[in-house]
Amino acid sequence: MLALRDLQAALAGIVRGEDQPRLEAAVIGDAITAAARLRIYRHHIEQSLTTALAATFSTVQAIVGEDFFRAMARRYVAGDLPCQPVLAEYGAGFPAFIAGYEPATSLPYLADVARLDWALNFAFHSPAANHLTPADLSSLPAERVAELPLALAPGTAVLRSSYPIDRIWRVSQPGAADETVDLGVGGVSLLVLRREDDAAFVGLSEAEEAFLSAVERGETLEGAAEVGFQTGGAFDLSTTFARLLALKAIAATQHHFVERVEKAL
């Protein structure tokens, strides 16, 4: 008799496409054979995980079409089943898989679009945490503010690509205008954000991206500003900072620090 632990491990093997003769022998077959009955479960797992990936990576699917997407996703599913049961959190490894997926080499931007899909999904499922507001800062001398360690708000991500993935994303949405994207326009930097009721992205200038990447590394406002000034491009700290505060892109993790500074004053 198959112990429960062995039975469950064997069924996992069926899902991965293995032959499991002991398990097959333990399943009652009739006009519908044991093998055919086991395949129903295997197909469902493949189908349902592929469908979950299609929902998360909807732009990738729009670009390649359903048939190609499902074939690609099936390969990924077989090699990287979920490590937890929440499907909204499944697929973190899919962009890297796409980058190495040979049939997709004619679409070199596809993996970066997948990273954008994933970042939007991640932002959407991140908590709407407190963000830094002008009021948090207005009571402090600017010199103190300069020393604040900054961090991006939960779900916020900076994305760089050598391809115009913002335009590719736009023409791939349902109901998009019938226009083309010329890859020749070059790369882009994007800021992905969790907002009140959805997730969204905006374009970043080179200096803004440098500033935000420094924030992402945990730099102080002063350190991040210096990085921004060093990019050589026109970096307007005032406008950049005002924009980022308005976008709620900076975390309020320094509330306690602000309070400490206030008490010390």
Residues 197-216 binding another protein (CB under 8 A) are 197-203
Q: Of 18, 22, 93, 134, which one interacts with another protein (CB under 8 A)?
A: 134
Region from 209-217, 231-239, 253-261 binding another protein, contact rule CB under 8 A = 231-239
36 binds another protein (CB under 8 A): yes
Q: Minimum CB separation from another protein for residue 160, in Å?
A: 11
Torsion, Cα of 13, 19, 25, 26 (10° steps): 10
In the numeric block, which tokens belong to residue 67? 């048939």
Contact 154, 168 (CB under 8 A): no
CA 253 centroid distance within chain: 22
Region from 47-55, 209-217, 256-264 binding another protein, contact rule CB under 8 A = 47-55
Cα distances from 263 to residues 139, 234, 255, 258, 260, in angstroms, run 12, 37, 12, 9, 5
CA 109/CA 168 separation, integer angstroms: 9
34 binds another protein (CB under 8 A): yes
Q: Enter the DSSP assignment of 149.
A: B
Q: Minimum CB separation from another protein for residue 216, in Å?
A: 19
Q: What are the beta bridge partners of residue 255? A: none
Residue bearing tokens 């604040």: 148
Q: Minimum CB separation from another protein for residue 146, in Å?
A: 5
Nearest alpha carbon to residue 252 among 156, 175, 180: 156
Nearest alpha carbon to residue 196 among 231, 155, 157: 155
User: Which of positions 70-99 make contact with another protein (CB under 8 A)?
Assistant: 71-72, 74-75, 81-89
CA 240/CA 191 separation, integer angstroms: 13
Q: Minimum CB separation from another protein for residue 263, in Å?
A: 21
Nearest alpha carbon to residue 99 among 117, 112, 82, 116: 112
261 binds another protein (CB under 8 A): no
142 binds another protein (CB under 8 A): yes
CA 204 centroid distance within chain: 18
Region from 196-204, 210-218, 257-265 binding another protein, contact rule CB under 8 A = 196-204
Region from 62-70, 211-219, 255-263 binding another protein, contact rule CB under 8 A = 62-70
Q: Minimum CB separation from another protein for residue 249, in Å?
A: 11
Region from 181-189, 209-217, 251-259 binding another protein, contact rule CB under 8 A = 181-189
Count of residues that bind another protein according to CB under 8 A: 125
User: Which of positions 100-129 make contact with another protein (CB under 8 A)?
Assistant: 101, 103-109, 120-121, 123-128
Q: Of 18, 93, 149, 183, which one interacts with another protein (CB under 8 A)?
A: 183
Q: Enter the DSSP assignment of 87.
A: G
